[in-house]
Structures are given as C-alpha cells and as structure tokens.
Amino acid sequence: MRHICPAWPGSGVKAVRMKSKLGVTFAVAGAFAAGIVVGPMVGAVAQEGSRAETYRLLSLFGDVFGRVRAEYVETVRDRELVENALNGMLSGLDPHSSYLSPRNFEDMRVQTRGEFGGLGIEVTQEGGYIRVISPIDETPAARAGIRPGDMITHLNGNTTQGLTLQEAVEQMRGERGTSIRLTVRREGEARPLELAITRDVIRPQIVRFRMEGNDVGYIRVTSFNEQTETNLRRAVQALRNQAGTNLRSIILDLRNNPGGLLDQAVQVTDDLLDQGEIVSTRARRNEDAQRWNARSGDITGGIPLVVLINGGSASASEIVAGALQDHRRAIVMGTRSFGKGSVQTVIPLGAGNGAIRLTTARYYTPSGRSIQATGIEPDIEVKSSRQDNAQANAQRDRDREQDLRRALRNEGNNAAQAAPPPPPLNLPQALLDRIQRQPPEGFPALDPTKPETDFQLQQALILARSLGPAPQRRAQR
C-alpha cells in the first residue's frame, strides 16, 4: 500500500431505535444496571441487525445488476458494470477516493516513478466537469496555456459532463504525437477557449534550481514523486557549491505543486529540519494514528528559508509548508493554499483487478492544525496580480478544496478545538513595509521565462536578502 496526498458508522443505534420508546429506555437503563451482562447482548442484537441490513443491500445490488445485465438496450460486459459500481461507490465518498482500473493503476505507478504519457495536467472533478488543479511545468498543457482553475467542458467536442474522473483522464492520455482538442471555460473569458494539444511523454523536471544574483538560491519543486527528495538534495548541494559563503538564503517555490507521495513530503521536510515533529495523521481508529519526526541534520546548514505557496499548492506541498511554518524554520509567503488535508491509501485488489484509492486519514501540522478545506495561510500575503474588487477576490478563492463536492469537513473549525496559530513573525516593521502586497499599476503580465515579471518571487527576494548575513566580499587582486 502507498500513501498519497491526492467510513461510515455502524447501524447499531438505528437498530435499537426501531423498538418502542419504552424498549429503548429499558435497554439503556438495563445497561447501566448490569453492563457486563446486558452490554454484550445489546451489542449482539445491533451487530445482527447491521449484518442483516448489509445482506439486504447487497441483495438489492444483485437485483439491479441482474436487471441491467438482462434488460439494458445494449449488451454490457459484467466487468464494466462492476467497475462502474465500484467507482460510483468510492467517488461518492469524497473528491479523492476512486477506483483505479488495471490500466489506470499501472499509469499511476508509472507517474509516481516520475514518467508518464499524456498532457501534463493535474485535474479534479467539480460539478460534473473537469477542473484543472495545476498544469505541470514544461509540458504540453503548460505550453498550451492551461491555467489552474480552468474548467474542461469538452474533449474532442464531446462533453465531459457525465464522465467519471478516471474516464476523462484516460481520454486525455495517449501515445506521443497524437493530438486532442480541449474546450476550456476560464473565469473572465466571455467565450470558451479551444486548445489543440499534442500529447508527449511527460518527464517533468520536478526540481529546478538557479541562483538569483550571487546570494539567494531558488528551488522550485513541481510535484512529489519518488525522485523529489533525491533531486532536492542535489539542488541544495549544487547551490551551496556554486555560491559558497555568499549564500544568504533559499527560496523554496511550491506554487501550483499539486502534491504526491506522503513519504516524499516527510523526507523533504526532514531534510530542512534539525528536529521536531513533521506531520501526524489521524484515521478512523485511534490505533491507526501515525506521527513522523525529523532526524538530526539540516542539509542547508540552517540557511534561512522563504516558502512560496498559492491556491494551486496542495496536499504534500501543504505538509511541507505547514511544518516549516509551525517550526518557524521558514517564512511562508504568497496566497492561501488549496486545503487538501487528507491522505489517500492505494490498496491493490489483486492481479488484474486494479486498485482502490481510499481516503484513510486526515493529516495535521506539528501544532495540531488540520488544513483540510482551509489551507495554509501565508505569514505574508502577496498576490500575484491586482485584484480590483471583492468579487474577483471571491472568485479566485472559490477554486479550492472547500468548494469541491463532498469535500471532507475540517474537524478543527470549533474554536475550542482549534490548534494555536504559528508563532508570530520576528521581523522588523520596516522590512514588512518594504514588501508590496500586490503588483503596482502597469506591472508586466507574468511570463514564466522572465523572473522579473514574477511579482511574488520579486517580493520573496526582498525578504530573502534581509534574512541571512551579507555576502562576503572576495579579496581584490
């Protein structure tokens, strides 16, 4: 089983309440008077009622299956019917649980290894359509101009309404060199956009790095697959070798990072912390709770960190940002993250039967915060573009976990249960005043190839250059 970062109660109470009010009162009173004897008897009755209800519902499923198989207008394969039923059962729980057909299961395994075929796009389902979480950098989708929040309404002219998420993803995948036409609705555009995209083998460069000037290192992590932590270590070492004692600080860019493997998020955070808790998970049963702690050793040598996030930063990237924020190991800058605070476990179903991706736990930052449906709030909010009115602001905030159908609730919404916020920033007010919270009038539109047009990055550089010691001057010869 593999944990990735994209239950129902028993019916015992219901079985007892089917009795008269007098019967319920008697059962409860009897339990207090003779709990050792009556308790197991009540439990046995409840368990028997629950089992009978389960058998009745399974019989109902068999009746419907047989009726469809015998009377549907066209012949339907048994496997197709069962797989559709499985997918409906799982996708009806929350936005991230699903059935993986054998082909989709293999595709997922290939993707987590760091190579897959298709468009290079992370998607979810909302309102029956396919919503883009984030395009992957330097892929066909990114080059075609796909943006987070785009709604894919048609594939090759056929509506995505009524397709399962897996069916839509399967249609977007294909052999290298083949094309697909996407119809996209984008907020602010009067008409749908028609985009023709040629598929390619997706080998995303998940960790990219460079020096900004001679004193600040920049590392962008685009997803968390099996190669992420290894590549992060290489990036940090290369920056330290390149800059030497001039390296003031490092900017870790997690914007539009949709997440991935939980163990990679833990390892990346462990690399940047010297001690303390990284993340904990709480499942349906208390005994299944887990906790991960950092081992001694910070691969940066304690160099100050600035973490960039936005509404496309989800799941594993939120684990990293939340842990570094709680320990005040980094200052988090940008806009509120996506808010996916649940863990999915991939459970294989045996040879030829695929797997299920099941939400099995919520995760919590070291201070005990659940970011499910709320996200990570940055220490310093910096917007990527001007937002001229409250309506535009509300629209941008809508493209998050909390707005997905059947999204899990946040169990910490009760003020009495809420975890304490991160420790306050210890920064001079003069420095905070230098950081602009949104681009000025006339600031150029973002061009990913030109860092000077990235307003959030430019503000992060102002902060980063104030955190570390001044670069050592080289001796003049």
385 SS3 class: coil
Return the residue matching tokens 């001007």: 386
Residue 318 is predicted with a pLDDT of: 97
Contacts of 194 (CB under 8 A, 6+ apart): 181, 182, 183, 184
Residue 53, pLDDT above cutoff 70? yes
Q: Beta strands of 81-206 (E only): which ranges?
A: 98-100, 116-118, 121-126, 129-135, 151-155, 158-159, 179-185, 193-198, 200-202
Other beta carbons within 10 Å of 42:
17
Q: Whole-angstrom Cα distance, residue 275 to residue 436? A: 33
In eight-state DSSP terms, residue 160 is -
pLDDT (mean) for 371-398? 74
Q: Mean pLDDT throughout 19-42?
A: 34
144 SS3 class: coil
Read off the pLDDT of each residue in 461-472 and give the average, rounded to a whole number. Answer: 84
Q: What is the mean pLDDT of residues 75-89?
A: 94
Q: How confident is the model at residue 417 (pLDDT cuts 50, 70, 90)?
A: low
297-308 residue pLDDT tens: 999 999 999 999
- What whole-number distance in Å separates Cα of residue 17 and Cα of residue 13? 6
List pLDDT tens digits, range 136-174: 878 899 999 999 889 999 999 999 998 888 789 889 988
- Give the model's confidence band at 412: pLDDT under 50 very low, under 70 low, under 90 confident, else very high: low
Residue 228 has pLDDT above 50, yes or no: yes
How far is Cα 346 from Cα 97, in angstroms, rounded to an integer? 9
The 10 Å CB-count burial string (b at 16+, else e) for 160-176 is: beebbbbbbbbebbeee
pLDDT mean over 317-342 = 96
Give the tens place of pLDDT for each residue, 104-136: 888 788 777 766 778 988 888 877 889 998 788
Domains of the chain, start order = 115-202 (2.30.42.10), 207-343+352-467 (3.90.226.10)
Find residue 181's DSSP bridge partners: 196
CA distance linking residue 148 with residue 134, whole number of Å: 5
Reported as a single tens digit per residue, the pLDDT across 86-107 is 999 999 999 999 999 898 888 7
- Confidence band (pLDDT; 50, 70, 90) for 252? very high
Distance of alpha carbon 362 from alpha carbon 356, whole angstroms: 18
Burial category of 206 from C-beta neighbours within 10 Å (exposed 0-12, middle 13-18, buried 19 and up): buried
CA nearest to 425, candidates 415, 435, 417 = 435
Mean pLDDT, rounded, of the chain: 84
- Residues annotated as catalytic are 315, 326, 340
- For position 267, what pLDDT does the model report? 98
Question: Is the pLDDT higher at 54 or at 473?
Answer: 54
Stronger pLDDT, 475 or 216, i.e. the higher one: 216
